[in-house]
Structure 1
Amino acid sequence: MIISASAATIRQLQVLREVLRNGSERQAARALRISQPAVSQNVKQLEAAIGLTLFKRETNRLVPTDAAWELLQSIDLAFAGFDQIGKSIAFLKSSDTRVVSIAAPAAFSLKLIPEAVRRIQELNRSYSIKLRTGSYQEIGDYILHGKADIGISRLPLDERIFEWRPVGSAVNVCLFPKAHRFAKKDVITPEDLLGEALIDIDPQFASHQMNVNAMRYMGIHPDIAVEYDAHGHDAGFVAAGVGVSITNEILAKEYTDFNVDCRRFEPGASYHYVVLWQKDRSLSAGLSIVVEQLTSAFLRAESFSLRSG
């Protein structure tokens, strides 16, 4: 195979890589299981193809030039991709091993997904999980373009593109440090946030618009201490006592190991979570296991009661 923009071949690059790694043509020939003259020929052909001197020949030994070492960095990067392809082929050939890619908001990597993965590997240790995190829009794109097998997202979704299984619903809650004055209340309202520093999500998110606009409608100017751009980034700031945040109860359950508590926030909204995949995709046995365990993880989290009034 000829590399674009040059007449170099993958084989020639492979030979160069082994010469540099082994320090001599003789050792490279042994590693590649070819003759030393074949190694020399490939190196000379590569130099001619790319128009660069890769070695200085001094008293029967090769001394790599700076160009050779710089080229090696690119070769190693390219061959790392080939190595990954080889691993993927091995996975596909083995009926007992499978890489499953899950796309989800980063917050779910705190408790829910690790719990599901633990149970998946209890069923079969050969399953390997690849996690992609991002916004709900990015999660949909990962599924749509085949970069993830299974996703965790919220409705609404386009039923022409995705199929899904409902896994839980949630309402808004106010997240605050334990022993905060809000712990004595059953419901938190925008008026209660007067004088409180807020850990607030980026204005592009609908939850920001709903919460902050509700405060402004009531004549309350929000005191935003920290603005973050992904669900889950608020818990640490709240636990540290920097401020309070508005999230939903499903996400709040991911933070139970932090020094935080929560109460229902009104006015609020309802959120409906699903496990989704590409429409008309036939789920393999492995993917079905992942869907089942993610669903079960949501159900276990739902059974864990958070006080909300």
Structure 2
Amino acid sequence: MNLRQLEAFRAVILGQTVTRAAEMLHISQPAATRLISSLEDDIGFALFDRIKGRLQPTAEAMTLYQEVQRSLVGVERIARTAQDIRSLKRGSLHIACAPAMGLIFMPRVIAAFMAEHDGVQISLVVHSSSEVIDLVVGQRCDLGIIVLPNTYPSPRSEKLLATRMLCALPAGHRLCDKPVIVPEDLRGEAFISYPRSIGSRHQIDTIFAAHGVERQLRLETQLSQPMCEFVEHGLGVALVDALSAVNYRGERIVFKAFEPAIEMDFSMLLPVQGPASKLQTAFLEHTQAFIARHVPQAYRF
């Protein structure tokens, strides 16, 4: 037996004549007749009684029809699933993301993606960049998004965005009128810093030490969003990544360029083994396009 024979059998049952069955299958009447005859030969018993030019299904045919109907419905479901996968309407993504992009920006990216692919399931978890790398290498997620002072050296990574860190000042601060902030401007300022476990902390400290500038390091936090909140409440100044500046919704804070520039690279890590799926590739391209539309060119390298 083959699938085409079973489709012809079902069509004859439903259409009650070979002519209508042939129309349903978009084939000629002789072709439909041959399919039924070959099916009867293969299974070893008659399926229809020929009465006055019409085909009357036998009792055995109706018993077989119940099973054929269930099987063909399953085949059609598989075909629809394949079509959904091909058109990116079906599938799942497990995404691990660093906080700088994962707390606010990535949910917006995902919302826009799911609006176009409503059958896709997405799981988003937020971890440090080093933990994201471990998840990707261990094949425990489909995509990883990291932010590091330098791009993760992997042939399976795609740079999403190269930005510079910005100086966050409370509104009304004495430096708000300066277009560019330099280390000497922040001498003696209360400075809100990342903890030493964050990679960019060492780079920032090195720059200020090279310029002989001392700051008042009174407050630390590992995330840029609460850092901006602290700045807005007048607790000090800070250097934050550009995406956090784009996402911040407070009104009593000013972001200024900082020199020497400190580059922050946002990259998407693809599967370590095997090619990326159509869904993974589509999400990468969607994220790149979303960034192009929503991140100001002035914040980029």
Q: After superposition, where does 1:24-173 map in structure 2 within 5 Å?
A: 95=85, 96-153=89-146, 154=148, 155-159=150-154, 163-173=156-166
In structure 2, what is the equivalent of residue 288 of structure 1? 281
Tell me the secondary structure at the aligned position of residue 224 of structure 1.
strand
Q: Deviations over 1:55-74 (max 9, x none)?
A: xxxxxxxxxxxxxxxxxxxx
Partners of 2:275 and 2:243 lie apart in 1 by 29
Counterpart among 165, 179, 184 of residue 186 in structure 1: 179
- Alignment check: 8 A CA contact 2:208 2:214 kept: yes
Q: Give percent identity, aligned residues only.
A: 21
TM-score, normalising length from structure 1? Answer: 0.61
Q: Which amino acid aligns with 2:192?
A: I
| 1:300 equivalenced with 2:293 (yes/no) | yes
Which of 243, 246, 254 is matched with 2:239 structurally? 246
Q: What displacement does 1:201 show?
A: 0.4
Q: How many angstroms does 1:147 deviate by?
A: 2.3
**Which runs of 5 or more residues in structure 1 are unaligned?**
1-91
SS in 1 for 2:176: helix
Aligned CA-pair RMSD: 2.8
CA shift digits 1:81-121 (9 cap, x unpaired)? xxxxxxxxxxx998544331112122323442122112111
Q: What are the ranges of 5 or more consecutive residues in structure 2 without an aligned counterpart?
A: 1-80
* Kept after mapping to 2: 8 A contact 1:197/1:243: yes
- In structure 1, distance between residues paired with 2:140 and 2:166: 33
Match of 2:262 among 262, 269, 274: 269
Q: Distance in 1 between matches of 2:201 and 2:248?
A: 20
- Residues 173, 249 of structure 1: 8 Å contact kept: yes
User: d(CA) in 2 for partners of 1:118 and 1:234?
Assistant: 26
C-alpha displacement of 1:141 = 0.8
| Structure 1 residue 122, shift from structure 2 partner | 1.2
Quick check: which has more Rg, 1 or 2?
2
Partners in 1 of 2:180 and 2:133 — Cα distance? 33
TM-score, with length taken from structure 2: 0.63
Q: Which residue of 2 aligns with 1:207?
A: 200
